[in-house]
Amino acid sequence: MGKELSESLARLLTEQRNPASMAMDRMSTEEILRLINQQDKQVPLAVEREIPYIIQAVELIVESFRNGGRLLYFGAGTSGRLGVVDASECPPTFGTDPTLVVGVMAGGHPAMFKSQEGAEDNPAQARRDVDAHGVTAIDTVCGIAASRRTPYVVAAVTRARELGAKTIYVTTNPRADFDFDVDVAICPEVGPEVLMGSTRMKSGTAQKLVLNMLTTTAMIRLGKVYENMMVDLQLTNQKLVERSKRIVMMATGVDYDRAAEVLTQAHGHVKSAIVMIKANVSLEEARRRIEAANGFVRGAIGENPHHS
């Protein structure tokens, strides 16, 4: 088993040695930093090449959301933590229910803060975790694993497929080597890490960029954004309260006091406040219009909400 695993890892691009960093232990601080930075510059270009597949993944997620389903991330280690972070940012940013986007990682909550030895090698627990989250055919499940082979993640995605869910897989090993049955594979090929096998670096950055794109684009497609502003954010702290007032001011042209007044009338709901001002309607009418426009502010104020 040990030898087989070693040979399997040896074949992974993410486990190769990077020729550019072979003398890294002899470099100055500045030389190391410039090397890391130079390698990091390759990451967004690798993600760009995967946009056709990211488009497909977003469409699956939007379909799930519109049908009452969810997006669930399953990962281990760095990959799992990135999924949890992305999921946890959705409620304050987009005003979503915490159950809409869920991050699940091998080892559970404690593994967010401290490595749980062996958790990523437990496929049986992965299947139990999928079942415990009640995954069904209207959900989309996204596995995240730099290596692609992580047993916990593979088992979670396999179980999700058995339950009829749509499946996405994010890995930083080449598409040519991807041999797993999912609806959409996203494979930004970032090359060997500066520090061999440390996939928290380029691989983690690529995964973070992809997850940002998945949820942000899906939320925009659901009407959570007006122009380029968050209009469904939750006013959970003073910074977000003040940001909400600024958004209302920028969207409508009213002054600070008027924005604060209408936000209060709208019970803190930015989207409603904007429609109340721009359409000169009551809160009740603003809510009716927003619902009729499927959540899009543009539609609620009489503009075409859809892209051409």
Task: Show which residues are catalytic.
Answer: 89, 120
For 114, counting Cβ atoms within 10 Å of its Cβ (0-12 exposed, 13-18 middle, 19+ buried), the class is exposed
> What are the Cα distances from residue 90, in Å, to 41, 178, 237?
27, 29, 15
What six digits make up the tokens of 78? Answer: 């760095």
Q: Are 245 and 270 in contact (CB under 8 A)?
A: no
From the CB of residue 183, how many other CB atoms can be counted at a distance below 10 Å?
16
Q: How far out from the chain centre does Cα 139 lie?
A: 15
Q: Are 184 and 56 in contact (CB under 8 A)?
A: yes
From the CB of residue 122, how many other CB atoms can be counted at a distance below 10 Å?
18
Pairing of strands 140-144, 101-105: unpaired
Rounded distance between C-alpha atoms, residue 113 and residue 108, angstroms: 10
> What are the Cα distances from residue 77, in Å, to 46, 121, 144?
22, 11, 10
